[in-house]
């Protein structure tokens, strides 16, 4: 359940017939004992008619009205939604062992190669092994440091593009450029490649995966409709999965050939100096002493996880940050002054500078509070559990709304106001985003916390800092409201929170000489 199904006329007619059919028994009526409160439901579809994209905003409105823990009936399925810091803490910390699984939808099963990936793998030996591998090797500090030049070169490439636009006085679709930035970074970190058409195919397919993964599929919730594919969504899932599988096979096959050539007699090198993520995964797959034997499908599932988790959410976070800064010129000016003071104007700010820029870090925290990249963390109960005094049955989907935790008035003053200065106040100064402070958990928390925290905290602050150091920004035509401010409405982004309209701006060169020249 990531976004609302926009019901086709056929589906609407089908459900209308079901509602009036005398042979249909209202299955949900007797199942509410001990459950949290919720909105009034209707037969068969339950609360589906209440859900509207963006889903995190809808759930926030519902929990504001009906309580910090509510029940929603989605067809024959039960979903519990949290709307407060305290309820999120109970799910992700107090009862973490009871919510150690993620719900598996039709789309998730396809793209995870059933359970071969990491994000949707069942909690167990394989999942624990891959998490350790991820945290220590794949996305660990050493690997991220070794691959830093890749991220630096892609940021530099984006700045050159923006400089050309600035010289010409042209608008640029920065949303598109930021997706290109993060996708290129991940492609090169995974397989040391962004060759021509391959990079463009990767960006297109990653976008399609995020969309279909985040599309509400009625078959996940109304059992007697399974197999009919009344939305045509399952066919699209299969098509997108086939395209991504072809892309991944291309990456793996090319890597295997390169590794074979490098280790053959007369090869260029016995071992790469800096290994990309695919090298690391293939090393593990070929290691006879590995704790868990990983297969080709495990490798493809994990690479897909990295692409889908790292591309859109990081790009969207930078996009929202720059949007808020453009709408708050005083805050933008203050950030630029900090960068000028600490870095100067003759070199480009980089990842190593981020710890020395406290206002930049406050801006990033505030963006992740008010615009979390992936605003809902989904879990499924593995056993009957009590949350907030209510009974949560086993096999119940729980939607932990990170958008709501960042706006809980019990923990945040002026929760809807973009104000980075709050993080210099005593009550907020020690908060971080790594999952320990439940009022600020943009990456989730507990066993299923996002393993890409370290990657995001390298890419987002450094990328944002470079953009505001090098350019001022003029709002593009047709993207401002009547007051001349950027329209900040959220769109239907599926798993990720996007602007409803692309961020179209004119970059204005700020430094002379430009630090890249």
Q: CA 319 → CA 69, 107, 330, 427, distances in Å?
A: 31, 27, 18, 28
Q: Report which of residues 370 and 125 the model is more confident about.
A: 370
- Assess contact for 75 and 221: CB atoms under 8 A: yes
Distance CA 277, CA 470 (A): 31
State the binding site for heme. Answer: 450
Of 7-11, 34-38, 369-373, 410-414, minimum mean pLDDT range: 7-11
Please tell me the distance from the alpha carbon of residue 376 to that of residue 399, in angstroms, as a whole number. Answer: 6
* Predicted structure pTM score: 0.90
Element (H, E) at 172: strand 172-173
Question: What per-residue confidence (pLDDT) applies to 163?
Answer: 96
Question: Hey, how many other C-beta atoms are within 10 angstroms of the C-beta on 487?
Answer: 14
pLDDT band of 213, cuts 50, 70, 90: confident
Q: How far apart are CA 136 and CA 130, in angstroms?
A: 10
% of the chain residues with pLDDT over 70: 90
Q: Which of 179, 127, 187, 143 is nearest to 158 (CA)?
A: 179
How many CB atoms are closer than 10 A to CB 81? 29
pLDDT computed for residue 7 by the predictor: 42
Mean pLDDT, range 406-420, rounded to an integer: 97
Q: What whole-number distance in Å separates Cα of residue 25 and Cα of residue 174?
A: 52
- From 28-32, 60-64, 384-388, 412-416, the region with the lowest mean pLDDT: 28-32
Ranking 329-338, 434-443, 476-485 by mean pLDDT, the lowest is 476-485
Q: Contact 88/400 with Cβ under 8 angstroms?
A: yes
Residues facing residue 399 across a β-bridge: 81, 378
pLDDT band at 3 (very low <50, low <70, confident <90, very high): very low
pLDDT in tens, 266-298: 555 545 567 899 999 999 999 988 888 899 999
Known binding-site residue numbers: 450
Which CATH code for domain 9-509?
1.10.630.10
Q: What is the mean pLDDT of residues 159-183?
A: 95
Greatest mean pLDDT range, 80-89, 92-101, 182-191, 484-493: 80-89
Better-predicted residue by pLDDT, 119 or 184:
184
CA 167, 204, 480, 404 torsion-angle sign? negative
Q: Which residues contact 298 (CB under 8 A, 6 or more apart)?
A: 113, 116, 117, 130, 285
- Under a CB-based contact definition with an 8 Å cutoff, are residues 168 and 494 in contact? no
The tally of CA atoms less than 13 A away on the side-chain side of residue 426 is 0
Dist. CA 423–CA 366, nearest whole Å: 8
Any idea which of 260-269, 339-348, 387-396 has the lowest mean pLDDT? 260-269
Residue 194: per-residue pLDDT? 57
Q: What is the dihedral of CA 396, 302, 176, 255, to 10 degrees?
A: -170
Examine the pLDDT at 26 and tell me if it is beyond 50: no
Tokens, residue 513:
């000489």
Residues 6+ apart with CB under 8 A from 37: 66, 67, 70, 71
Where along the chain do its domains lie?
A: 9-509
Mean of per-residue pLDDT scores for the chain:
87
211 burial type by CB count under 10 A (0-12 exposed, 13-18 middle, 19+ buried): buried
**pLDDT tens readout for residues 430-477:** 999 999 999 999 999 998 998 889 999 999 999 999 999 999 999 998
Q: Which residue has the higher pLDDT, 86 or 14?
A: 86
Which residue is associated with the tokens 């439901």?
41
Give the pLDDT score at 27.
42
Angle formed by the axes of helices 329-343 and 358-370, nearest 10°? 140
Dihedral over Cα of 361, 277, 187, 112: its sign: negative
Cβ neighbours of residue 99 closer than 8 Å, sequence gap 6 or more: 91, 92, 379, 380, 381, 382, 385, 398, 446
The residues that bridge with 401 in the sheet, in sequence order, are: 376
For residue 267, what pLDDT is reported?
Answer: 54
Positive or negative torsion for Cα 74, 450, 248, 196:
positive
Query: With DSSP H G I counted as helix, E B as strand and the rest as coil, what are the percentages for the chain, rounded to 5?
Result: 50, 10, 40
H or E element, residue 504: strand 504-509
Of 514, 152, 153, 499, give the one whose Cα is nearest residue 326: 499
Residues 486/323, Cβ–Cβ less than 8 Å: yes
């Amino acid at each position: 359940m990531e976004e609302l199904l926009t019901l086709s006329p056929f589906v609407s007619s089908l459900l209308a017939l079901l509602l009036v059919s005398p042979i249909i028994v209202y299955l949900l009526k007797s199942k509410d004992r001990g459950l949290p409160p919720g909105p009034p439901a209707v037969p068969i579809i339950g609360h589906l008619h209440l859900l509207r994209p963006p889903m995190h905003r809808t759930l926030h409105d519902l929990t504001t009205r009906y309580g910090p823990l509510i029940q929603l009936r989605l067809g024959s399925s039960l979903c519990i939604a949290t709307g407060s810091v305290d309820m999120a803490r109970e799910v992700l910390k107090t009862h973490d062992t009871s919510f150690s699984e993620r719900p598996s939808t039709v789309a998730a099963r396809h793209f995870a190669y059933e359970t071969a990936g990491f994000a949707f793998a069942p909690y167990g030996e394989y999942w624990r092994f891959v998490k350790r591998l991820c945290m220590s090797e794949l996305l660990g500090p050493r690997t991220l440091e070794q691959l830093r030049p890749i991220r630096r070169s892609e940021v530099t490439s984006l700045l050159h593009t923006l400089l050309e636009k600035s010289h010409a006085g042209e608008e640029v679709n920065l949303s598109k450029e930021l997706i290109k930035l993060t996708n290129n970074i991940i492609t090169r970190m995974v397989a040391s490649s962004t060759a021509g058409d391959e990079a463009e195919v990767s960006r297109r397919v990653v976008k399609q995966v995020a969309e279909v993964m985040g599309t509400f599929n009625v078959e996940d919730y109304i059992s007697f409709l399974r197999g009919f594919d009344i939305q045509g969504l399952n066919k699209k899932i299969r098509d997108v999965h086939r395209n991504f599988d072809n892309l991944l096979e291309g990456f793996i096959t090319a890597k295997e050939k390169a590794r074979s050539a490098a280790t053959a007699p007369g090869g260029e090198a016995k071992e790469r100096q800096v290994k990309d993520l695919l090298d690391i995964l293939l090393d593990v797959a070929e290691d006879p002493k590995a704790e868990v034997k990983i297969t080709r499908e495990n490798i493809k599932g994990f690479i897909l996880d990295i692409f889908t988790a790292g591309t859109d959410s990081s790009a969207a976070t930078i996009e929202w940050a720059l949007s808020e800064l453009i709408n708050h010129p005083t805050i933008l000016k203050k950030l630029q002054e900090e960068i000028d003071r600490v870095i100067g104007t003759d070199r480009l700010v980089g990842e190593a500078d981020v710890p020395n820029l406290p206002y930049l870090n406050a801006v990033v925290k505030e963006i992740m509070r008010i615009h979390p990249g992936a605003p809902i963390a989904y879990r499924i109960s593995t056993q009957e559990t009590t949350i907030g005094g209510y009974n949560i049955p086993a096999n119940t989907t729980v939607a932990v709304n990170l958008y709501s935790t960042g706006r809980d008035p019990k923990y945040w003053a002026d929760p809807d106001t973009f104000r980075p200065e709050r993080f210099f106040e005593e009550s907020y100064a020690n908060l971080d985003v790594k999952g320990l402070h439940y009022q600020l958990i943009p990456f989730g928390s507990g066993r299923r916390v996002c393993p890409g925290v370290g990657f995001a905290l390298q890419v987002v602050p450094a990328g944002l800092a470079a953009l505001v150091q090098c350019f001022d920004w003029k709002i593009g035509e047709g993207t401002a409201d009547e007051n001349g401010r950027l329209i900040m409405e959220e769109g239907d982004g599926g798993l990720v929170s996007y602007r409803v309209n692309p961020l179209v701006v004119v970059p204005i060169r700020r430094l002379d000489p430009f630090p890249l020249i």
